[in-house]
């Protein structure tokens, strides 16, 4: 599959593919997504099959704007509306009661739907031209690294999709934050690009504790996820080993990482993919600080280092 620049003609072609039940790769501000009509059950099944994703794992539905929320959500609280208007378009996903028109396969058989409005202009234009909400999980093989550049898309995905739109490197490089807002007890189901502190600042109160029973309510909740092929181990110092370090890299199998948590997150998947491509068998990662702003990075490193 050729990778296309997001010209008006390419976006029109991608939108036509989606209307006809096709699957395309679209850029977002978080990671690249495997997009299809969220209301087309056959198209959604194809996305699951391409990824090798378990059918009980819900997908995130992407809208072109707040005004379309009623197309997929049955209702929402004033708290959910406040969060949406504060962070959309952007990398915040809200879990809400779903409308009956949303196929069960899109929501993993749940009575809730995960939904957000992406910030990337190509994604927004594609949704607008397709004329429907888009289900768009990460364009990766299930549990693999999410692509943050078009050229990072796994060949197993590449050969199965109809069009790939290249929107450049992703701004955040990690997936969206997912919140359960089915009632006023707001909980983080998946840490992501929007920090806990930013959300709490809008709410004016702490977020609730997520119970283990919330596992299936959000994508990205498997113990091992977003992982390279190589074994990942967290260490105090990388030394001479292949891996990710805060110090200067001493050879080609090391990557110097930023000390800013947002920049680190944006670079993480690309760095892990680079070492995978070099054939490294074990990737040592210097443990980042444990301060709250590093929560999302620690979540991704924990999942990447969990044995298969």
Supply φ then ψ for residue 296, to 5 degrees: -65, -40
The pLDDT value recorded for residue 214 is 58
Mean pLDDT confidence for 32-40: 98
Give me the mean pLDDT over the 152-167 stretch. 95
Residues 179 and 240 reside in one and the same domain: no
**Statement to judge: residues 64 and 168 lie in one domain:** yes
Closest CA to 98 of 78, 69, 66, 57: 69
β-strand partners of 234: 285
What does the pLDDT look like over 56-89, one tens digit per residue? 899 999 999 999 999 999 999 999 999 999 999 9
Please state whether 247 falls in left (phi above 0), alpha (psi between -120 and 50) or beta. Answer: beta
pTM: 0.94
Name the helix (H) or strand (E) containing 135: strand 134-135
Closest CA to 119 of 50, 226, 192: 192
**Domain tally for the chain?**
2
The average pLDDT across 251-268 equals 97
pLDDT-based confidence at 22, cuts 50/70/90? very high
- Asked if residue 186 is part of any domain, the answer here is yes
* Whether residues 43 and 91 fall in one domain: yes
Q: Is the pLDDT confidence value at 224 over 90?
A: no
Task: For 20-40, give the DSSP string.
Answer: TT--EEE--SSS-EEEEETT-
Q: Same structural domain for residues 11 and 57?
A: yes
Q: Are 224 and 143 in contact (CB under 8 A)?
A: yes
At residue 59, the pLDDT reads: 96
| Low-confidence winner among 175-184, 205-214, 295-304 (lowest mean pLDDT) | 205-214
Average pLDDT over residues 285-289: 97
Q: Is the pLDDT of residue 216 over 70?
A: no
Q: Residues 208, 67: one domain? A: yes
Mean pLDDT confidence for 48-62: 94
Q: Give the C-alpha distances (Å, rounded to integers) separating 262 from 267, 289, 296.
A: 9, 13, 9
Do residues 135 and 18 share a domain?
yes
How many whole angstroms separate alpha carbon 208 and alpha carbon 214? 12
Domain's final residue, options 182, 217, 252:
217
Q: How confident is the model at residue 226 (pLDDT cuts 50, 70, 90)?
A: confident
Is the model's pLDDT at 215 over the cut of 60?
no
pLDDT bracket for residue 220 (50, 70, 90): low
The residue segments making up the domain with residue 300 are 231-305
Residue 183 pLDDT: 83
| Residue 208 pLDDT class (50, 70, 90 cuts) | confident
pLDDT in tens, 90-112: 999 999 999 999 999 999 999 99
Judgement on whether residues 90 and 238 belong to the same structural domain of the protein: no
Mean pLDDT of the chain: 93
Is the confidence at residue 1, as pLDDT, over 90? no
Q: Which of 176, 191, 217 is the last residue of a domain?
A: 217
What percent of the chain clears pLDDT 90, i.e. is strictly above it? 87
Examine the pLDDT at 300 and tell me if it is beyond 80: yes
Whether 209 is in a domain gets the answer yes
- Residue identified by tokens 């190589």 is 230
Asked if 217 and 58 touch (Cβ cutoff 8 Å), the reply is: yes
The verdict on 269 and 123 lying in the same domain is no
Does residue 223 fall inside a structural domain?
no
Tens-digit pLDDT profile for residues 118-141: 999 999 999 999 999 999 999 999
Whether 242 and 208 share a structural domain: no
Residue 225 lies in a domain: no
Together in a domain, 282 and 134? no
pLDDT the model gives residue 225: 72
Residues 122 and 27 in one domain: yes
Q: Is residue 222 situated within a structural domain?
A: no
Residue 73 lies in a domain: yes
* CATH code (residue 110): 3.90.870.10
Which of 162, 165, 188 has its CA nearest to residue 47? 162
209 and 254 housed in the same domain: no
């Amino acid at each position: 599959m050729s990778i296309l620049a997001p010209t008006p003609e390419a976006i029109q072609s991608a939108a036509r593919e989606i209307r006809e039940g096709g699957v395309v790769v679209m850029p977002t501000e978080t990671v690249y997504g495997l997009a299809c009509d969220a209301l087309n059950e056959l198209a959604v099944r194809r996305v699951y099959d391409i990824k090798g994703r378990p059918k009980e794992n819900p997908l995130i539905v992407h809208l072109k704007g707040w005004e379309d929320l009623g197309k997929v959500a049955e209702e929402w609280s004033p708290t959910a509306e406040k969060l949406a208007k504060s962070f959309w378009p952007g990398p915040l996903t809200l879990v809400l009661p779903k409308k009956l028109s949303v196929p069960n396969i899109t929501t993993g058989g749940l009575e809730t739907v995960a939904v957000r409005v992406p910030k990337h202009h190509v994604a927004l234009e594609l949704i607008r031209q397709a004329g429907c909400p888009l289900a768009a999980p990460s364009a990766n093989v299930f549990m693999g690294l999410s692509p943050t550049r078009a050229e990072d898309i796994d060949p197993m995905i590449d050969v199965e999709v109809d069009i790939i739109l290249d929107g450049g490197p992703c701004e955040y490089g990690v997936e969206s934050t997912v919140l359960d807002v089915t009632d006023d007890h707001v909980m983080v189901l998946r840490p992501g690009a929007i920090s806990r502190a930013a959300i709490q600042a809008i709410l004016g109160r702490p977020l609730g504790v997520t119970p283990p029973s919330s596992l299936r309510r959000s994508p990205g909740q498997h113990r091992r996820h977003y992982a390279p092929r190589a074994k990942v181990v967290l260490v105090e110092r990388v030394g001479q080993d292949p891996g990710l370090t805060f110090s200067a890299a001493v050879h080609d199998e090391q990557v110097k990482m930023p000390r800013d948590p947002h920049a680190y997150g944006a670079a993480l998947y690309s760095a892990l993919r680079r070492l995978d491509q070099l054939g490294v068998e074990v990737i040592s990662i210097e443990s980042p600080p444990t301060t709250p702003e590093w929560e999302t990075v620690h979540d991704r490193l924990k999942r990447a280092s969990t044995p298969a």
